[in-house]
């Protein structure tokens, strides 16, 4: 936690997007802060950011619209959809529900900032395309499947995805000034309420319909959706869900420093964590045979994990662990590094011992942002100032203790949009300055080509939580610019 204090002390956030060194030697301190993915900022990147000129609202919109135009690189007309990543030739090449939701949000933010016939039509076209994900056969209730056309009664389906998509539908309604997608958002919540909450083993939201992992990220997304639906409809059931789930999160996941739990663990030796670089890791202390741990290197990858070169089941003889996992990630994207604490067990399956207790999956940065947004929605719909205070306290803790550079843009982008939501409600310049400062980081470190942002926010070779050249990596950075274009700058 010391690095969070260093971050808070080293940077003085000033008007616009410039980062100014407040203490002597801070540039080197900023550049040498480490996370699981390596240095957050190089000295050269820190120097460029420190000298950056402020951007206007119009300039943020221009960056977002330029990026929207570049998303055509992923578009495949004959499939009428976007590839998950450039050059994808696998049997299911289109983006999953989770892959595409950041692009949906990007289009809505652009349309809110700049409503034209073209931008509004883009929102409606993308929103309508999600009907191909609807699985009417899913049991116990229908829901939005992870991939278009998945229609099995027992298709594994994610409760966090339902939350993120429901929120995107509501943002689309805000963009087009209608309730066109309200029913879709409510259908997402019906799916969550029917089977998402673990009411038998102490609470928390299940990650998916297999009911094997409980997820702080899913909990946060679904809290945000419930709060937004109450704001949109006034239905008491949504308020009850939001407030009861928040009470559970505050009791069980909130830490003494004011942020929510960022740890994940698994007691199951058969499960391997997949790192952002497609390395394999196992929980430290797991009792495994010598043959099972064949190539263990002794290096660490994240708290409590040990990197190993052992091949998971299904790999080809002579194939490296990284090459094998990369191949498996293409065919099983949901089981690869798109989530904190993701595991690849039994060659890509998700099976565990029948008597195993559910494993908790961490709440990454997007969860913190969703909680911020939920508190703001409850403040706006109930008029109770305590909800705004809770949002402000959480925002202050995030700035002090967390560094939104290293979770991957698909998580960090949602976190920053939460700050923009809070700023739009209370007009506190702290939140605006924080987001614009990190937008400057994105501009100077993540851009890989004009209008395209495929590099890690904090430098390094790979984006945490993503395979190379993913659309969601690009869109998640762009939606930060789009969100800033929807609000007036602070003075």
Contact 78, 68 (CB under 8 A): no
* pLDDT of amino acid 324: 58
Per-residue pLDDT at 271 exceeds 70: no
* pLDDT of amino acid 312: 42
For the chain, domains (ranges, CATH) are: 2-50 (no CATH), 57-262+362-484 (1.50.10.20), 271-356 (no CATH)
* Measured distance CA(206)–CA(213) in Å, rounded: 6
More confident residue, 171 or 52: 171
At residue 364 the predicted structure's pLDDT band, cuts being 50, 70 and 90, is confident
The per-residue pLDDT for range 365-423, each reduced to its tens digit, is 899 999 999 999 999 999 999 999 999 999 999 998 886 466 789 999 999 999 999 99
Both tokens of 177, joined, read: 């000034």
* Measured distance CA(211)–CA(204) in Å, rounded: 11
Q: What is the mean pLDDT of residues 72-77?
A: 95
Per-residue pLDDT at 160 exceeds 70: yes
The per-residue pLDDT for range 283-322, each reduced to its tens digit, is 323 322 222 222 222 222 332 222 333 344 444 555 555 5
Residue in this structure with the two tokens 């109450």, named with its chain if needed: 230
Contact 405, 276 (CB under 8 A): no
Contact 379, 425 (CB under 8 A): yes
Per-residue pLDDT at 334 exceeds 80: no
Percent of the chain clearing pLDDT 70 (strictly above): 68
Q: What is the mean pLDDT of residues 176-185?
A: 97
Q: Which residues contact 40 (CB under 8 A, 6 or more apart)?
A: 30, 31, 33, 34, 403, 405, 406, 458, 459
* Measured distance CA(403)–CA(401) in Å, rounded: 7
Q: What is the mean pLDDT of residues 238-259?
A: 94
2-8-13 Cα angle (round to 5)? 165
* pLDDT of amino acid 18: 31
* Measured distance CA(402)–CA(415) in Å, rounded: 11
More confident residue, 355 or 491: 491
Q: Which residues contact 405 (CB under 8 A, 6 or more apart)?
A: 35, 40, 41, 412, 438, 441, 456, 457, 458
Q: Which residues contact 352 (CB under 8 A, 6 or more apart)?
A: 212, 268, 270, 271, 345
Please indicate, yes or no, whether the overall pTM of this predicted structure exceeds 0.85: no
Both tokens of 64, joined, read: 């977002």
Per-residue pLDDT at 153 exceeds 90: yes
Per-residue pLDDT at 338 exceeds 60: no
Q: From edge to edge, which strands make up the β-sheet containing 280-283?
A: 305-308, 280-283, 271-274, 343-345
More confident residue, 265 or 388: 388
């Amino acid at each position: 936690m010391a690095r969070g204090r260093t971050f808070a002390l080293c940077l003085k956030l000033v008007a616009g997007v410039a980062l100014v060194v407040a203490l002597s030697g801070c540039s080197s301190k900023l550049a040498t802060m480490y996370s699981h993915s390596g240095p957050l900022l190089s000295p050269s990147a820190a120097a460029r950011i420190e000298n950056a000129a402020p951007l206007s609202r119009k300039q943020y919109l221009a960056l977002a619209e330029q990026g929207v135009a570049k998303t055509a690189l992923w578009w495949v007309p004959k499939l009428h959809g976007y590839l998950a990543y450039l050059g994808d030739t696998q049997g299911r090449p289109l983006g999953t529900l989770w892959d595409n939701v950041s692009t949906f949000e990007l289009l809505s933010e652009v349309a809110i900032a700049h409503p034209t016939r073209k931008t509004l039509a883009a929102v409606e076209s993308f929103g309508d395309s999600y009907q191909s994900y609807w699985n009417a056969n899913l049991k116990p209730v229908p829901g939005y499947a992870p991939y278009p056309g998945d229609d099995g009664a027992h298709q594994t389906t994610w409760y966090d995805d339902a939350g993120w998509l429901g929120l995107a539908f509501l943002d689309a309604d805000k963009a087009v000034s209608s309730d066109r997608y309200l029913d879709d958002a409510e259908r997402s919540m019906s799916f969550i309420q029917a089977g998402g909450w673990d009411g038998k083993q102490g609470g928390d939201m299940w990650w998916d319909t297999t009911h094997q992992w409980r997820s702080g990220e899913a909990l946060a997304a679904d809290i945000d959706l419930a709060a937004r639906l109450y704001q949109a409809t006034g239905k008491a059931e949504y308020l009850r869900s939001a407030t009861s789930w928040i009470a559970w999160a505050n009791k069980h996941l909130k830490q003494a420093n004011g942020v929510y739990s960022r740890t994940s663990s698994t007691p199951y030796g058969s499960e391997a964590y997949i790192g952002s670089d497609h390395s394999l890791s196992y929980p430290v202390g797991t009792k495994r045979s010598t043959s099972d741990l064949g190539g263990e290197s002794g290096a660490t990858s994240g708290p409590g994990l040990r990197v190993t070169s052992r091949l998971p089941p299904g790999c080809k003889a002579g194939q490296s662990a990284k090459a094998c996992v990369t191949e498996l990630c293409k065919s099983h994207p949901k089981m690869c590094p798109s989530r904190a604490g993701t595991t690849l067990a039994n060659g890509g399956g998700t099976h565990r011992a029948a008597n195993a207790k559910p494993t908790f999956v961490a709440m990454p940065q997007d969860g913190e942002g969703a909680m911020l947004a939920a508190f703001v929605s409850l403040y706006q719909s109930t008029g109770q100032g305590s909800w705004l205070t809770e949002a402000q306290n959480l925002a202050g803790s995030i700035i002090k203790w967390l560094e939104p550079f290293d979770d991957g843009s698909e998580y960090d982008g949602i976190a920053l949009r939460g700050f923009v939501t809070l700023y739009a409600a209370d007009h506190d310049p702290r939140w605006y300055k924080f987001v614009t400062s990190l937008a400057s980081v994105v501009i100077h470190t993540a851009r890989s080509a004009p209008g395209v942002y495929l590099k890690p926010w904090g430098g390094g070779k790979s984006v945490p939580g993503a395979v190379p050249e993913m659309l969601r990596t690009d869109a998640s950075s762009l939606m930060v610019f789009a969100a800033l274009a929807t609000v007036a700058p602070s003075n």
